[in-house]
Structure 1
Amino acid sequence: MKKEYDKALYRLLEILKRLYEGEVLNTKDLALDFNVTQRTIRRDFIRLSYFPIEKIKYGYKYADGYHLLKSSKEDEVLLFEMFEQFSKNMGEGASKIISKQLSKLYNPSAKHPFFFNAVIEDITDKSELFLLMQDAIEQKRVVHLEYLDKTRQVHPYRIASFEGFWYLFCKEQEKYKTFYFKDIQNVVLKEETFTCDTKALKIMENALNIWFEAQEKSFEVLLHVDTKIAKHLARRPLSKTQKFLKEYENGDIEISVYATSDNEVIHVLKKWLPNLKVIAPLRIHETFKKELQKYIDV
């Protein structure tokens, strides 16, 4: 008889394999296929949240550009190897379990071609909270919770990942906020429901980083990009709103993005210093210069 870990790992690999082949999967059909509850399948997708899987209206699918056109034995081995390497970003506990179980299914290649440098926060100890919050978001139910030693009533909008860390994007007393997920405790779903503000959701989805302000109006930011990072930002835009404006003879480029706070932009500048500069609004350029001067004077 298979142990629970074996059964769970088989489900995860089979789900990944089918997604790689281009299938769109839903929790109801998968629950029937594997003879488990839909809640178990939702928990499986939380475990697979490290992969580029998109939740759409009718279920889940692999993000465009990631699925395989066909399956073969070689594809399955590559999938196992990718899964094992990616699991190293899920935390030591999860990584050991996955590696041990995968060793029963295939012989790991000593020289596999994969290395993932994406450090993602281990949230396996919060899986039940993830499921509870997922139910609240899907059903648009008001939630009572404790955060930073304070009892709060919020409208949960999304569970969001920024730079590898998990947050709850929510509305509390007419203000939009982001709560660090691991600090949320004692969650209770209420019968009361709410209406989601799609404009606030779009701001979150277009954000440069966690420092966005969903209650503020978006403004355009013009950036000068040094040739040293121009190709990188062309391959991996700063946000969904990034637009190419022009290219200089030396390879430098100008781009635009939209932001909702000066702080949101300044954190991007810090990351790409000295290869990214603000052209407009000028106030952000001046604020950043003052911050740099304070650092130099220390």
Structure 2
Amino acid sequence: MYLSIDYRGNKGFRLLSIYERLNKGELLIKDKMAIEFNVSEKTIQRDIDDLRAYLSETHFSETEVFIKYDKSKGGYYLVRFEREWLTNEEVLALCKILLESRAFQKEELNGIIEKLMSQVVPNDRKTVNDIVKNELFQYIPVKHNKKLLSPIWELSQFICKQEIITFAYTRQDGIAKSRTVKPVSIIFSEFYFYLIGFMADDSKDFPTIFRINRIANLIGTKQNFNIPYKDKFNDGEFRKRVQFMYSGELRRIMFEFKGPSIEAVLDRLPTA
């Protein structure tokens, strides 16, 4: 049954409506709000003052979230401290990185970008969307056709619990073999997500690298493993020393570089 809300006679409904619209990033102009709610401008001003008091009481700092008046536009809007919300620039940068990675199937990517866009205030959302929509339309993911968000999360859970896992792994030549692994990290590199793990039988002293899209029938064994602190896997060091996602023992090499810019070499080989 449809019920008409009396905004004039019910201050609670009016405050909720104003707060919801501020949260959506709308610019609220006092005289227009007064006409819409059939109240005086003084009443709208009191509502805004009440919301300001509420925000001041319920947040750690008065500068964390507050209602500000824009003189040039003649309206009120909500300001959020950046640690809680992504800025337009941050959303745009993240969208560009995701599109360039080509890592996700289009359905998954659409969902992620849509949620990122919801962080942009409505007044600027069209601008940000216009910048990325053509790239999104032309987006071509890598060819494995596997959704990755669920397996990435599932593997992350096993890593946090330090639980040994088994799975079927299909190699590049199409041969599938069963693997039992101590998972320690997930890394992204050049289009693909990789699981880094040690073989459960300790047959290798160095970690083994598995492309996550080639993993199937993932099962936890309920067996936990422990790695001494001094031997714990260091993601940062691994990234600096392993560039092409092939496992094996580390080796020190010497090479001679001739070219216009050493920067490209140092970006690729940060330990050089």
Whichever structure has more strand as a proportion of its residues is: 1
Q: Larger Cα Rg: Structure 1 or Structure 2?
A: 2
